Amino acid sequence: MEKISHEITLFAEPIFHFGNFTVTNALFSSWIVVGIIIILAFVLRIQLKEIPNKLQSIFEIIVDGALSLCDQVTNSRALSMKIFPIAISVFFFILINNWLGILPLGGFGLIEEGEHGLSFIPFLRGGTADMNTTIALAVMAVVGANLFGIFSIGIWKTFNKYVNLKVLGEIFTKIKRDKMVIVTAPVTFFVGLLEIIGEFAKIASLSFRLFGNVFAGEVLLASMAALVAYVIPIPFLFLEILVGVIQALIFSMLLVVYFTISATDHDEHDAEHHEKQLVSV
């Protein structure tokens, strides 16, 4: 019998096609996760009662705790209620994807003949172990934060965070009172341009952190299972379950931070700070 090999690849493997559209095992897993979340939401909504059952009680504890954690970042319950729905949705999407990638379901898949003989391609692979998924999540978080900022404080103030035309205009209005504005205004303008680079850095940081931790975990479990098939991999499995929770929490909390920063009017904050200084004097 010819030996069937399976190698863990950096890229997601295609499992079937819809015309010219290729469905990979990571994309298929993400669809399953979305389906699980939708079904769970409908079940909770249908069974919603004043006297909660066990499932409702568990999720009420999770939501209350997560909302309190969100309040610690935003310092405003009103702002938390706006950001929380997308943050908790992203958390569960990443969490279930992380866990789905380490479940012992690797026996279901396709056997294809390649250049080096028969190879096994699993149907399921954690969506967050695919760079395409993590980049998409990171782009959604950063672009969504900027859109949230536009709706919260206006397009002009959001634009001025990056291309600060206002501070350049202040050179002509403040130069008589403060000669240093000739130096500080261009520096402030340049810092705003650096913020644009920072937005791209956020995308890279979010996507590579999540992908690296999840992919490394899957490689670790596969390596341990290949070396010692029984008992030894179990502690590493529980470790990766914990890592999956931590990575989902980190991504969600960073999303809350980015949304909060985008919704903050720095001009008003600086004005309040200046007023406090005058009062203290």
DSSP 160-175: HHHS-HHHHHHHHHHT
Starting at the edge strand found earlier in the chain, the sheet holding 4-5 runs 4-5, 117-122, 109-114
Local confidence band at 2 (pLDDT 50, 70, 90 cut-offs):
very low
* Measured distance CA(217)–CA(245) in Å, rounded: 13
pLDDT at res. 108? 53
Does residue 123 register a pLDDT over 90?
A: no
Given a contact cutoff of 8 angstroms between Cβ atoms, the answer to whether 31 and 21 are in contact is no
Global pTM exceeds 0.85? no
pLDDT at res. 111? 57
Mean pLDDT of 128-154: 91
Residue from 95, 102, 104 nearest 137 by CA: 95
Residue from 154, 183, 152 nearest 170 by CA: 183
pLDDT at res. 252? 94
Residue from 135, 91, 131, 83 nearest 258 by CA: 83
Share of the chain above pLDDT 90, in %: 29
Which residue did the predictor score with more confidence, 72 or 219? Answer: 72
* Measured distance CA(46)–CA(28) in Å, rounded: 27
In the chain, the number of structural domains is 1
pLDDT in tens, 147-171: 999 998 888 888 888 877 777 776 6
pLDDT at res. 94? 94
pLDDT at res. 142? 94
Does residue 275 register a pLDDT over 50?
A: no
Q: In sequence order, what are the residues at sequence separation of 6 or more whose Cβ sits closer than 8 angstroms to the Cβ of residue 144?
A: 86, 255, 259
DSSP 8-state code for residue 20: T
Which residue did the predictor score with more confidence, 171 or 84? Answer: 84
Mean pLDDT of 207-227: 81
Residues in a beta bridge with 112: 119
Least confident piece of the model among 100-109, 124-133, 222-231: 100-109
Domain that holds residue 186: 4-280
**Kind of pairing, strands 109-114 and 117-122?**
antiparallel
pLDDT in tens, 220-274: 777 776 677 666 777 777 888 888 899 999 999 999 999 999 988 765 544 444 3
Which residue did the predictor score with more confidence, 35 or 107? Answer: 35
